[in-house]
């Protein structure tokens, strides 16, 4: 099974072209241009700039192959008028809607260089306004998230995020939902993806099994459940893990309070499924647990409630120290991720999972770039030989 390949392109080069969403059945306009990689590289810069505007560091490490500007000078709480942001781009609001793409490309390329050489909130706002007109939804979503922080929430930003949240492209949809969840007046749109907290029911099951769970706003996905592509691939490639006949489903809500409640649900669910020790079961072996994105946060919070895991396999977990697990409850952590995960950039998470005290328990595998959903795709695991590291 093939997996989408995204590669880093220096933003100063990426912004010299305008990536267009490839229509089904049509060939690429230029075979030498990887449209998806251009779009992802542009989106990564936009999200890094947004983080800087909001006083966050997009990453604390130097990533070979993708140089980010020093965004600390961008921090500002003041909002600009849209007209002023467009003026810094060198066009009026009306011209921005009507100007031919090559002219906007030239202006945006200039502003990108300015962000690297002389960063300012004016340059950031101008970059967001220009990118908001991009025909590629991934770029437009990242720009909309940034424009919300430099100007104001307005119909164009709303439409961009709402339309993209319904995209069939999981990365576009997930990024849009993540952006919406950060915007108070719009969060009800993301909340529609949240399910009612499931009820745990007692069943008898063997104790030495692997369990899979989803991430935020993804409870209705199929990949992690019996019959889903990742579930079946895990069952086929690692039959010795005895993947459980039910996967763990939680609300998928984006809040600390909800995750705490879902961690309590996980604790009860594991007991009801026969996946936690009984008083007379001295030979109990904790289950392996595979979690995508903030499903890992739920698992970590569950360890603080006493839940134990043999292997905790994190797939694209947004690293936040406040959500670290109780390491004494986990024998081994396998951290699977891509470089500069776009959803993690938007979530202000770190891109590395580290602990000096428990470093021997953590093994990290970073392959590929940008795509938050790649880490639970069977093709990604096939390509990078990850089945054998379990």
Q: What is the pLDDT of residues 152-169, one digit of tens each?
A: 999 999 999 999 999 999
Radius of gyration of the chain (CA): 22
From 313, 311, 308, select the one nearest 295 (Cα to Cα).
313
The continuous run of DSSP H or E covering 309 comes out as strand 309-315
Answer yes or no: do 151 and 267 share one domain. Answer: no
Task: Specify the pLDDT at position 25.
Answer: 45
Answer yes or no: do 109 and 231 share one domain. Answer: no
Answer yes or no: do 60 and 144 share one domain. Answer: yes
- How far is C-alpha 274 from the chain's CA centre? 32
Number of compact structural domains in the chain: 2
Answer yes or no: do 253 and 125 share one domain. Answer: no
Question: Which of 163, 191, 219 is where one domain is finished?
Answer: 191
Answer yes or no: do 78 and 183 share one domain. Answer: yes
Sheet with 362-369: strands ordered across: 210-213, 288-292, 309-315, 330-339, 362-369
4 part of a folded domain: no
Domain ranges, residue 272: 210-389
Tens of pLDDT, residue by residue, the chain (390 residues): 567 789 999 999 999 888 876 555 443 434 446 899 999 999 999 999 999 999 998 887 778 889 999 999 999 988 999 999 999 999 888 888 776 565 688 899 999 999 999 999 999 999 999 999 999 999 999 999 999 999 999 999 999 999 999 999 999 999 999 999 999 889 899 999 999 999 998 877 665 689 999 999 999 999 999 999 999 999 999 999 999 999 999 999 999 999 999 999 999 999 999 887 765 556 678 999 999 999 999 999 999 999 999 999 999 999 999 999 999 999 999 999 999 999 999 999 999 999 999 999 999 999 999 999 999 999 999 999 999 999
Answer yes or no: do 179 and 61 share one domain. Answer: yes
Answer yes or no: do 140 and 232 share one domain. Answer: no
Give the three-state DSSP class for 390: coil
Question: Which of 129, 160, 191 is where one domain is finished?
Answer: 191
CB atoms within 10 A of CB 53: 21
**Global confidence as pTM:** 0.92
- How far is C-alpha 303 from the chain's CA centre? 23
Answer yes or no: do 246 and 317 share one domain. Answer: yes
Question: Which of 122, 157, 191 is where one domain is finished?
Answer: 191
Task: Specify the pLDDT at position 29.
Answer: 39
Answer yes or no: do 245 and 187 share one domain. Answer: no
242 part of a folded domain: yes
Task: Specify the pLDDT at position 382.
Answer: 97
User: Across the strands, what pairs with 213?
Assistant: 248, 291
CATH number of the domain at 263, please: 3.40.50.1820
Q: What is the pLDDT of residues 209-256, one digit of tens each?
A: 899 999 999 999 999 999 999 999 999 999 999 999 999 999 999 999
385 part of a folded domain: yes
Answer yes or no: do 326 and 262 share one domain. Answer: yes
Give the three-state DSSP class for 264: helix
Answer yes or no: do 86 and 215 share one domain. Answer: no
Answer yes or no: do 239 and 337 share one domain. Answer: yes
6 part of a folded domain: no
1 part of a folded domain: no
* Cα–Cα separations (whole angstroms), residue 362 to 44, 106, 209, 345, 352: 26, 45, 21, 22, 11
């Amino acid at each position: 099974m093939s997996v989408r390949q995204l590669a880093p392109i220096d933003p100063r080069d990426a912004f010299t072209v305008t990536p267009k969403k490839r229509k089904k059945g049509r060939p690429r306009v230029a075979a030498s241009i990887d449209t998806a990689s251009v779009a992802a590289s542009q989106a990564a810069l936009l999200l890094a700039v947004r983080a800087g505007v909001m006083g966050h560091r997009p990453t604390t490490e130097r990533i070979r192959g993708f140089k980010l500007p020093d965004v600390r000078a961008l921090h500002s709480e003041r909002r600009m008028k849209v007209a002023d942001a467009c003026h810094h781009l060198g066009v009026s609001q009306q011209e921005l809607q009507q100007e031919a793409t090559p002219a906007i490309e030239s202006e945006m390329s200039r502003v990108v260089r300015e962000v690297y050489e002389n960063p300012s909130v004016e340059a950031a706002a101008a970059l967001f306004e220009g990118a908001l007109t991009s025909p590629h939804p991934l770029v437009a979503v990242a720009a909309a998230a940034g424009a919300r922080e430099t100007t104001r929430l307005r119909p164009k930003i709303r439409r961009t995020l709402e339309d993209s949240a319904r995209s069939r492209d999981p990365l576009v949809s997930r990024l849009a939902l993540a952006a919406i969840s950060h915007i108070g007046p719009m969060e009800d749109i993301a909340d529609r993806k949240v399910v009612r907290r499931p009820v745990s029911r007692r069943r008898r099951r063997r104790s030495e099994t692997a369990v899979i769970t989803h991430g935020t706003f993804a409870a209705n996905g199929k990949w992690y459940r019996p019959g889903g592509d990742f579930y079946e691939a895990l069952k086929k490639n690692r039959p010795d893990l005895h993947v459980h006949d039910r996967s763990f489903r939680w609300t998928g809500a984006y809040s600390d309070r909800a995750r705490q409640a879902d961690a309590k649900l996980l604790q009860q669910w594991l007991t009801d499924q026969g996946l936690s020790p009984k008083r007379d079961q001295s030979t109990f072996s904790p289950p392996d647990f595979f979690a995508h994105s903030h499903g890992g946060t739920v698992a970590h919070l569950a360890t603080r409630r006493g839940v134990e895991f043999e292997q905790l396999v994190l797939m694209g977990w947004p690293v936040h120290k406040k959500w670290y697990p109780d390491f004494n409850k986990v024998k081994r952590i396998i951290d699977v991720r891509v470089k500069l995960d776009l959803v993690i950039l938007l979530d202000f998470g770190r891109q590395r999972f580290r602990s000096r005290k428990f470093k021997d328990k953590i093994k990290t595998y970073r392959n590929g770039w940008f795509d938050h959903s790649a880490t639970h795709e069977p093709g990604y695991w096939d390509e990078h030989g990850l089945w054998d590291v379990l």
